[in-house]
Amino acid sequence: MTMHTSTILLIYTGGTIGMIKDSDTGSLKNFNFDELLQYIPELNLLDCDIDTYSFEAPIDSSNMCPTYWQQLVTIIEKQYDRFDGFVILHGSDTMSYSASAVSFMLENLNKPVIFTGSQLPIGDLRTDAKENLITSIQLAALKENNVSIIKEVGLYFEYKLYRANRTTKINAEHFEAFASLNYPALVQSGVNLSVNYNALLVPQNKPLLVHKALESRILLIKMFPGITRETVEHLLSLSTIKGLVLETYGSGNLTTEPWFIAALQKVIDTGTPVVNVTQCSGGSVVMGHYQTSVALKKMGVISGKDITTEAALAKLMYLLARKDVQQDFKTIYETSLRGEMS
């Protein structure tokens, strides 16, 4: 494994990682990413050329939305031939959503696109930002026989590179903020970078296709004991809804109350796709395994299998906007497109 002076584009969208403390007020402020080397001189030691691109106004990740995802993939599309890899700095709160969406929007990706961020600002004494950033750049520059080793969208945090669309944020204050409970880490960072070659996505050798259209008129309903008929029927009566994700119990179970099944059937009868994902952090939906999910299977609810909620929503947005997949929507959704499900 060597790094032959790779060219890396560092894209800053916003988030804690790009902040420093104002010495006068003590408050956090965004710094100019053109001055990156002042804050992390260690980047000079990396055997790669780093260029930077910053969003005009940094985005708090709570305000992240499909418009910004479209901006991100447009930047990558324009710069794709100029750079060997891309590192995206992003707030951690919605990073799994953004990274999952970008993985679907970039078809036939043959280069690394790595999301990272931090729990503490880059200027903080105990920051995790430096390690996350330096290692993410190293991973994006990693080559074998002058060919990039990673050819997919990844998410790097606290010594582990994960497949982005397999991740979920599990902790708001520990440095180990993300987990990938249904898929192993792609790379473990220790004294050396230990690559799990068997876990890496093997892309098709085709030209990059960038999909910018997304359908965001979708609904997510998390099941809970005591959810009322009025609430469910009101939400499902919205005529603007183009897709529905149900976060169900365990292996895909939910209430068998006749009113609930009838409300769901009504949605399916309109041709609106309904996706079943588990509330559990790990594990898979297996419809029909218990009596409480037999009805869902019969009426044509889509099994999300072991997909994360974040990836399920992103995949739904992506596929609903693809006019060419509507005939076989259920089959295509239940097929792994970017390694997002087993």
Distance CA(107)–CA(219), nearest Å, equals 25
Q: Do residues 10 and 50 make contact, with C-beta atoms less than 8 angstroms apart?
A: yes
In order of 51, 205, 267, the CA distances from 41 in angstroms are 15, 37, 56
Q: Which residues are catalytic?
A: 16
Closest CA to 93 of 118, 70, 126: 118
Q: Contact at 8 Å (CB) between 291 and 261?
A: no
Contact (Cβ atoms closer than 8 angstroms) between residue 150 and residue 196: no
Q: What is the number of alpha carbons within 13 Å of residue 297 lying toward its C-beta?
A: 14
